[in-house]
Amino acid sequence: MPRGTAVGELAALVRDHQPVVVLTGAGVSTESGIPDFRSPETGLWNLVDPMEFASVGALRQRPAEFWRGFAAVFGPSLAARPNAAHLALARLEAAGYVRSVVTQNIDGLHQKGGSVRVLEVHGSLRTASCLECSRVVPLTEALAQLEARGVPLCSCGGALRPDVVLFGDPMPPVFQRAWREAASSGLLLVVGSSLEVYPAASLAEVAPRVAIVNLQPTPADPVAKVAIHRPAGEVLSELADRLARFARL
């Protein structure tokens, strides 16, 4: 298919099937320098065992190792900047083409890029909380304690955990809202997600129509109205430009 044609089709879908909800995964942030999990070669799963730093079991049994691994993998994300894909999604929301962004990401880059209605279904890197008294502290405070004393603790002496969904955690209540957003949308635009992590991937199954922007094929490609296998930054910038031109006609 010639370059641009598929984005033209996607623009028509976005125009014709309002409201549009966007579901993003780690692939929307790789152009900001944050590795995803499942890309061949560069994905984090090629380098580390997720159960060592991203599971409730590791946090309980080996808190110091858990926090060292977590900080090494996700600490650099705190300094990342939004890329062209995040900025284009914010433009599409401001122009009224996107109702909300449901993200599996914990990096906060949609908000930094200007998106307003963002539902974080896997939590965020902004805070950590105490397993004993539930006090919430900035994650940066927990990381500073990790540096200073080897394991982050609350002022009550309880262990701190990052406020992200770990393997073994239940989904947070916001997931129910995300489910309703997807089910009541006219189109779910999936960007940078392998659609292999459930239950987040099930949002693509409850939406009436799906469009995909992802470097690699996904399990939803066969039922998608359009599937574009190019970098999210360039596709979404082109989409926002096309829809801005359309709005001016």
* 70 contact partners, CB below 8 Å, separation of at least 6: 53, 54, 162
Question: What is the Cα Rg of the chain in Å?
Answer: 19
Reference 25, options 129, 141, 107; nearest CA is 107
From the list 17, 86, 110, 122, the catalytic residue is 122
Q: How far is the CB of 29 from ligand NAD (least distance, A)?
A: 4
* Residue 205 per-residue DSSP state: H
Binding site for ligand NAD (CB under 6 A): 25-27, 29-31, 34, 36-39, 43, 77, 104-107, 122, 192-194, 196-197, 213-216, 231-232
Q: At what angle do helices 139-149 and 63-74 cross, to 10 degrees?
A: 120
The answer to whether 174 and 119 are in contact (CB under 8 A) is yes
Minimum distance of ligand NAD from residue 177's CB (angstroms): 17
Rounded least distance, CB 49 to ligand NAD, Å:
14
The angle subtended at Cα 142 by Cα 33 and Cα 146, nearest 5°, is 90
State the distance between the two ends of the chain, measured CA to CA, in whole angstroms: 26
Q: Which residue is nearest to ligand NAD (CB)?
A: 27
- Judged by beta carbon, residue 154 or residue 232, the one nearer ligand NAD is 232
Residue 105 or 185 with smaller CB distance to ligand NAD: 105
N residues, the chain? 249
Q: Give catalytic status of residue 86 as yes or no.
A: no
* Nearest distance, CB of residue 142 and ligand NAD, angstroms: 17
Instruction: Decide whether 130 or 201 has the Cβ nearer to ligand NAD.
Output: 201
Question: Which one, 100 or 194, has the nearer CB to ligand NAD?
Answer: 194
**Largest distance between two CA atoms of the chain:** 62
Residues tagged active-site: 122
